[in-house]
Amino acid sequence: MMNWKKIVLAACLLLTGCGGGSEPAVSPTTDPGTAPETSAPEPAVQTPEPPELAHVKDVSFSCNNQGEDAQHVVLEFSLDSPAEGIQEEDFSVTLAGDVVEAEDLTVEAAGDCITITIHIGALKFGQLNLTYTGTAAEPFTCQGIVTPGLKLAEAVQDPAAGAAAVQVLNAWDVRGAVQIQLWENEALVLTQGENPSETTAVHRHDFLNIDCETAAANIAAALAESYPDGYRFTSQGDTVLLEKLEPEGETSLALAVLEYLTLN
């Protein structure tokens, strides 16, 4: 008769190692009474957005003097929001081909406006190049031509006679030259002679002694030299008189001072 107790005991030893031999491999377990240890996720780091810098949206200029040794060009930049911390060293400026030194440059920032005052000896033809490289506002450049203060009114036309009258509203405020354009029927008229040009230069070194009447006479004389044929230029008081000598139909005439500033 088979001994069933021995058979069962042998099976137990083979399957579980009961009663001797090496200990069976034991998988690590967690105490059922203890929750597994887990590390909390690191909170996401929020990088703050840098503040948006002010942008320059417009620029204008003017000139003034407090005598021969105190002539100034004033640039006014308007911003889309206030900017703080703008300084002279943030700007590099050339005017009429000359580098403007730090001692000749004053910068004032108030609210959404930057005012730059440049001390000059002579404006010459007024070519301006300005660059801002600071961090208080978006970097920008400004280029163009500034003039010594001459302002002209819109021409009063007499098209049937081919004539017009242009009043001088303001004369020179600083020493320098003005470039004047002649327009006929809304088209620019080049000067006559060997080297045609788009402008006629008018110089005034004695700017302290010139008024609007003198300015009108100087402009008329300079235009007469630039256009000796087909036109007549005279002055009456503070007004420049323009005339086309042989107009073909109705003719409009006008004068313009070449001046502009661009922002980039």
Residue 110 lies in a domain: yes
68 and 137 housed in the same domain: yes
* Model pLDDT, residue 42: 72
162 and 243 share one domain: yes
Read off the pLDDT band of 254 (50, 70, 90).
very high
Residue 28 falls inside a structural domain: no
Residue 140 and residue 68 in one domain? yes
Residue 108 belongs to what domain range? 56-145
Between 236 and 3, whose confidence is greater?
236
Residue 39 pLDDT > 60: yes
d(CA 126, CA 220): 22
Domain count, the chain: 2
* Position 37 pLDDT exceeds 70: no
Residue 239 has pLDDT above 60, yes or no: yes
The mean pLDDT value for 40-59 works out to 79
CA angle 67, 69, 73 (to 5 degrees): 85
In terms of pLDDT, which residue wins out, 31 or 64?
64
Instruction: Give the E-state strand segments of 70-160 in sequence order.
Output: 71-79, 91-95, 98-99, 105-110, 113-120, 127-132, 140-145, 151-152, 156-158
Residue at which a domain ends, from 93, 111, 145: 145
H helical segments located in the chain: 4-16, 212-226
Other C-beta atoms lying within 10 Å of the C-beta of residue 129: 15
Two tokens at 7? 């058979």
- Do residue 140 and residue 156 come from a single domain? no
Q: Which two tokens stand for residue 86?
A: 């703008």
CATH number at 247 reads 2.60.40
Calpha distance 126→96 (Å, rounded): 5
Asked whether residue 89 is domain-assigned, the answer is yes
How far apart, in Å, are the Cα atoms of 184 and each of 86, 123, 143, 255?
45, 29, 28, 9
Per residue in 103-135, pLDDT tens? Answer: 999 999 999 999 999 999 999 999 999 999 999
pLDDT confidence of residue 52: 86
* pLDDT per position as a tens digit, 135-149: 999 999 999 999 999
Q: Looking at per-residue confidence, does 97 or 17 come out higher?
A: 97
Do residues 92 and 179 both lie within one domain?
no
Assess whether 159 and 115 both reside in one domain: no
Is 10 within the bounds of a domain?
Answer: no
Domain boundary (145, 168, 186) is at 145
pLDDT higher than 50, residue 65: yes
Is residue 136 located within the same domain as residue 167?
Answer: no
**Quick one: 70 and 136 in the same domain?**
yes
Average pLDDT of every residue of the chain = 88
Report the share of the chain in percent with pLDDT over 90.
Answer: 77
State pLDDT tens for residues 142-182. 999 999 999 999 999 999 999 999 999 999 999 999 999 99
Question: Is residue 178 domain-resident?
Answer: yes
Q: How confident is the model at residue 1 (pLDDT cuts 50, 70, 90)?
A: very low
pLDDT of 4 > 50? The answer is no
Query: In the prediction, which pLDDT does 204 show?
Result: 82
Q: What pLDDT, on the 0 to 100 scale, is given for residue 134?
A: 93
Reply yes or no on whether the pLDDT at 50 is more than 80: no
228 and 180 in a single domain? The answer is: yes
Q: Which residues of 131-150 are buried (b: 16+ CB within 10 A; e: fewer)?
A: ebebebbeeeebebbbbbbb
Residue 5 located in a structural domain: no
Same domain, 139 and 186: no
Q: What is the mean pLDDT of the segment spanning 55-67? A: 96
Confirm whether 34 is domain-assigned: no
Per-residue pLDDT at 14 exceeds 50: no
172 and 134 in a single domain? The answer is no
Please check whether residues 176 and 80 belong to one and the same domain: no
Last residue of a domain, one of 101, 122, 145: 145
Is 1 within a domain?
no
